[in-house]
């Protein structure tokens, strides 16, 4: 397993970056091309690493992360604090490269969120705060509605989800399912499950969704919908359980299209109309998060909230825009 001790020993020049809590991402494009993201702004550093040292470091970390001891030109790993490591060496990449997405606990509350809108409207993110937005969000997470939080890469889905999960009903029994422990649930009756590859067997997200149904949950919370697990989660909703998840999508309607793709990946023998009805019946609220760059700075917030009403006479999803 990759650890910060291994990482910092192999790549000493970036030790100061890994220890800086305000840095969100470290991007080593090449030994002489190292960038960081801090407060939503990407900046090139003056740090340099010898190319051979960088190449050897990635190879060593790859072996440390692979229990079978097999080398690969691609490295993917998770640091003990949940930070993600990804990189490659030639011939997959032109130069040895490595990215570290740091897991940082951001202290936010629902009061910090407004309707960010799209494009130039995002400049005044905090100015557009409907009086009933916070109340609506709290009521939604405490209800039996199934919530999907969508957005593009680095739009703040997990951060927002954790803020929303603070308002769960303390009387609910909550089962969380992730591949990295990132969700923060404070209710007393909870179980946290993690998909992973173990020495003699693999445990998938699909396996854990099915397991959760046998654990008497009030709510099933999935860290992120990927692949056929999306169908399993909605099937769990279909059996009377409620909960939520995040998903990568660039709009509210794109969220529904992405869910359709994941149902298809489950190889269910349904026609398109049946699949649409299944999704419409089991997804109640979509909260789409927007990330817009304004004057070189990333602005994140809620782009749109819509509730899925059903399927209209034209065979399309009928949505009610809430905010």
Q: Which domain holds residue 201?
A: 110-321
pLDDT tens figures, 204-230: 998 999 999 999 999 999 999 988 888
CATH of the domain at 228: 3.40.50.300
Q: Which of 76, 101, 126 is the last residue of a domain?
A: 101
Same domain, 312 and 176: yes
Pair (203, 307) in one structural domain: yes
Do 226 and 149 reside in the same domain of the chain?
yes
Nearest by Cα to 54 from 72, 29, 76: 29
Are 187 and 302 in a shared domain?
yes
* Joined tokens for residue 128: 């557009």
Residues 56 and 119 reside in one and the same domain: no
Q: Are residues 86 and 185 in the same domain?
A: no
User: pTM above the 0.75 mark?
Assistant: yes
pLDDT on residue 126: 47
* Cβ contact 245:212 at 8 Å: no
Q: Are 18 and 26 within 8 A, CB to CB?
A: yes
Residues 124, 252 share a domain: yes
Residue after which a domain boundary falls, among 45, 75, 101 = 101
Residues 154 and 180 in one domain: yes
Decide which of 9 and 246 is more confident. Answer: 246
102 vs 6: CA distance, rounded Å:
16
Q: What span, in angstroms and rounded, lies between the C-alpha atoms of 198 and 203?
A: 8
Average pLDDT over residues 106-133: 64
Same domain, 121 and 189: yes
Q: How many CA atoms lie within 13 A of 38 on its CB side?
A: 12
Q: What is the mean pLDDT of residues 257-268?
A: 92
Q: Could you say which of 66, 101, 136 is where a domain stops?
A: 101
Closest CA to 302 of 161, 206, 135: 161
User: Residues of the chain with pLDDT > 70: what percent?
Assistant: 89
Residue 120 confidence class, pLDDT cut points 50, 70, 90: very low
Whether 36 and 151 map to the same domain: the answer is no
Reported confidence tier of residue 153, pLDDT bands at 50, 70, 90? confident
| Alpha helices for 110-156 (secondary structure H) | 133-142
Let me know the angle formed at the C-alpha of 54 by 61 and 69, rounded to the nearest 5 degrees: 25
Verify that 192 and 73 share a domain, yes or no: no
- pLDDT-derived band at 106, boundaries 50, 70, 90: low
Give the total number of structural domains in the chain: 2
Please tell me whether residues 212 and 93 are part of one structural domain: no
Residue from 262, 250, 304, 259 nearest 280 by CA: 259
- What φ, ψ does residue 135 adopt, rounded to 5°? -60, -40
For position 122, what pLDDT does the model report?
Answer: 44
């Amino acid at each position: 397993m990759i650890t910060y001790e291994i990482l910092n020993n192999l790549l000493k020049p970036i030790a100061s970056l890994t220890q800086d809590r305000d840095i969100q991402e470290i991007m080593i494009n090449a030994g002489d091309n190292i960038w960081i993201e801090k407060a939503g702004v990407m900046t090139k550093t003056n740090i340099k690493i010898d190319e051979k040292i960088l190449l050897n470091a990635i190879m060593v970390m790859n072996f440390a992360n692979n229990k079978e001891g097999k080398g690969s030109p691609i490295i993917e790993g998770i640091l003990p604090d949940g930070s993600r490591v990804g990189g490659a060496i030639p011939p997959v990449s032109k130069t040895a490269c490595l990215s570290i997405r740091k897991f940082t606990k951001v202290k936010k509350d629902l009061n910090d969120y407004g309707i960010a809108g799209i494009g130039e409207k995002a400049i005044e993110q905090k100015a557009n705060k409907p009086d009933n937005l916070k109340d609506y969000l709290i009521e939604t997470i405490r209800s039996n509605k199934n919530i999907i939080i969508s957005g593009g890469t680095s739009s703040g889905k997990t951060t927002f989800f954790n803020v929303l999960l603070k308002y769960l009903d303390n009387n609910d029994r909550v089962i969380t399912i992730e591949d990295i422990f990132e969700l923060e649930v404070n209710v007393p009756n909870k179980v946290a499950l993690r998909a992973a590859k173990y020495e003699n067997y693999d445990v998938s997200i699909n396996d854990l969704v099915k397991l959760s149904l046998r654990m008497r949950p009030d709510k099933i919370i999935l860290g992120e919908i990927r692949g056929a697990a999306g169908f399993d989660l909605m099937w769990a909703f279909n059996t009377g359980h409620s909960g939520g998840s995040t998903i990568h999508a660039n709009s509210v309607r794109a969220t529904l299209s992405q869910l359709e793709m994941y149902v298809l990946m489950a190889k269910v023998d349904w026609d398109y109309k049946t699949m649409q009805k299944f999704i419409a019946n089991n997804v109640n609220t979509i909260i789409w998060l927007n990330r817009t760059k304004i004057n070189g700075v990333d602005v994140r917030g809620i782009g749109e909230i819509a509730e899925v009403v059903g399927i209209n006479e034209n065979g399309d999803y009928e949505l009610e825009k809430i905010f």
